[in-house]
Chain A
Amino acid sequence: MSELETLRLPSRFDYSFHRQFSEMYTPLIDSSVCKEIILDFTQVEYLDSSALGMMVLLQKKFSTGGRKVRVKGARGATEEILKMANMQKIFDFI
């Protein structure tokens, strides 16, 4: 594990991804090495409100001690949804 870890999100980012997502990020939260998580949205074509909820939950859990979660590669309808939810207020978009 390194200081910066990237999580690739699937083309359909919704409640069905819930378990997997949690399995992906839990070791990162528990680790003392990882300081930054990048959520890679390049593959994402569809996301729903539970996806937004998962993002918020991750951010709340991970953001202790200056650690950050960033969002990368969101385009089109995905980007619109994230903007409407004002996710840029709690995530840096890169």
Chain B
Amino acid sequence: MSRILVVDDDEMLNYLFCSFLSSRGLETFAAHSISEAKAALQVDGAIDLILLDYQLGDGVGMDLLAPSALASYINLPPVIMISANEEAEFLEQCFSGGVNDYIIKPVNLSLLALKVESLIQSVSMQRLIRQQNEALEAFKREAEREEQIAKFTYEYLLRQNSYAYEGVEVWLKSFAAFSGDMALVKKSPSGNLYFILADATGHGLSAAITIMPVVTIFNSMVAKGFHIQKIVTEINRKLVSDTPADRFVAATLLEINPYRREFSIWNGGMPPVLWVSQGEVKHEFHSAHMALGIMDETIFDAGVTTIALPEDGFIFSYTDGLTEQENSDHKPFSSARVIDIIAQQPDNLLRELSTSLFQFAGTNDYADDVSICIIRPELVFAGLTGALETEKVHGVSPSVNNRFDWSVKLSGRQLENCEIPPLCNYFLQQVGVDQGLCQKIFAVLAEMVSNALDHGVLGLSSEIKESSDGFIQYFYEREARLKTLSDKDFVKVSLQWLPNDGDEYLLVEVEDSGIGYLPKVKLDDVAHKYSGRGSSLIHKLAESVEIIAPGNKIRATIK
């Protein structure tokens, strides 16, 4: 209930005001002099309004509001002045002295009640606004603090990756402090280059949070040498279980193999990835899958498209923030415009696109995160192959002075599920083989196992059948054949480390259950040095390579 202090030295009038206001449901207190009123304000902080008569026995009403007096009050409620004086100058003085409203004598009681109620209402509104503002400020400060911490963690994670690889260019403009878009590039131990462009639902912190598992899984699995089928399967599994059902991550993953001059692509929910040559879009890789984090493990489709790379051209990918950006007429930037700009073959395509987008939108504040990436395989290859071949082997740890033997044989459906090169790589690392040497071994082994599985066991032809637009699709045939494997089908890998008096080397043998994919060799020609195919990775990195009759067993020495 609101409390009113009535200050009037006329006891009858004071009593009259008090009774009237009480009858309107207000609590009232009487003061009959300035000093009484002052005293009340010094001890009572809960007065909501003062009704103040101008003429008082010990002074005038304005004395109550003198600055010197104000200091001693707990707080100062709003004041309605009662006076017989209507002169403008007088009223001005009262208002500038801190009075909120006035009423002329003789007092119209109904009007007085209305003024009182209105003033109380307005003051309580102001108080509410002030409280809400304070609460809002505190909340904002807390949120900013948390955002700072989250941003630090998030950026730390990002810093672990860079896309400073030859032939890879990325332009990323995030909507808010956190980007729901993410581009990562990483090299695997085999020397393949992996690329992911991801776009999480929404943007800002909640989007960035769903991207984080994508980052950690991508990085750790690429480092172990897994292929993208396994990587997307795992990312999908994690997102399905760890993020809300209405959250998912659209993504494009690329695996570029410089030795076989191939790349594999998985596109789930993203705009088409373009292969561009001489300014022309030669091929579009459309989203063939749902985004990551939607499909249950049992129905998730990890199928990739594998393409042999033509001589010149580049891979172009982007997130929908680019094409959906609207101008002031609500028209979107559109993929048609992007293709036009590509056709102009500007010197710096990324800069041309970002400038166009800015001019089109008429602002730097885009509606969503925008990412554009260009990958030039020729430059990527130059960066990758060079590194692996010239990599200096720093020797091995002392524990590897003795020989070791290790072999694994996988049959039937095991071949579909388990990846042998990462398994071997893990073993070699555990046993203490130097990292540089591990990488070399991994690269050779990956090639050997891939040949053994694809050509030996699955019987897929190594000749690239070109379809009408010049690309091949291994995938469906390969997947279908993998499902028909039995125990009779196997791939066996043996590793033997031979110290050889300081001239140590690793003997790698890969055998498969196939019929052998080379011209038949006479049975008494057991060892046969294989020459030719100088561009083969195995030949580049291994000291020697032998094909054992009838061609389903290869032995390589690596130093």
Contacts and interface: CB of A to CB of B under 8 A. Distances in A.
Interface of A: 15, 49-50, 52-54, 56-57, 60-61, 77, 84-87, 89-90
A15 B295 CA distance: 22
Given A49-B202, A53-B201, A86 B245 contact: no
Contacts of B294: 56, 90
Main DSSP-derived SS at the A contact region = helix
Contacts of A85: 250, 269, 287, 290-291
B238 interface: no
Contacts of B551: none
Q: Which 8 A-B pairs have the closest CB atoms?
A: A53-B246, A57-B246, A49-B201, A86-B290, A57-B245, A85-B269, A84-B287, A60-B245
Given A56-B245, A85-B269, A90-B294, A50 B288 contact: no
Interface string B262-275: 00000011110000
Contact of B202 (A15, A56, A57, A89): A15
B248 A56 contact: yes
A41 to B, nearest CB: 18
A86 B289 contact: yes
25 contacts: A49-B201, A49-B250, A50-B201, A50-B202, A52-B291, A53-B202, A53-B245, A53-B246, A53-B247, A56-B245, A56-B246, A56-B294, A57-B245, A60-B245, A61-B245, A77-B332, A84-B269, A84-B271, A84-B287, A85-B287, A86-B268, A86-B269, A87-B290, A89-B290, A90-B294
Contacts of B413: none
Nearest to A86: B290
> Is the interface on chain B under 10, 10 to 19, 20 to 34, or 35 or more residues?
20 to 34
B290 A53 contact: no
A52 B201 contact: yes
Contact of A90 (B247, B271, B287, B290): B290
A15 B201 CA distance: 11
Query: Which of B201, B286, B288 neighbours the largest number of chain A CB atoms within 10 Å of its CB?
Result: B201
Contacts of A15: 202
Contacts of B287: 84-86
B286 A53 contact: no
A21 to B, nearest CB: 11
A3 to B, nearest CB: 25
Interface in B221-268: 244-248, 250, 268
A50 B247 CA distance: 8
B81 to A, nearest CB: 50
Query: Which of B199, B269, B270 neighbours the largest number of chain A CB atoms within 10 Å of its CB?
Result: B269
B246 A86 contact: no
Nearest to A85: B269
Contacts of B295: 89-90
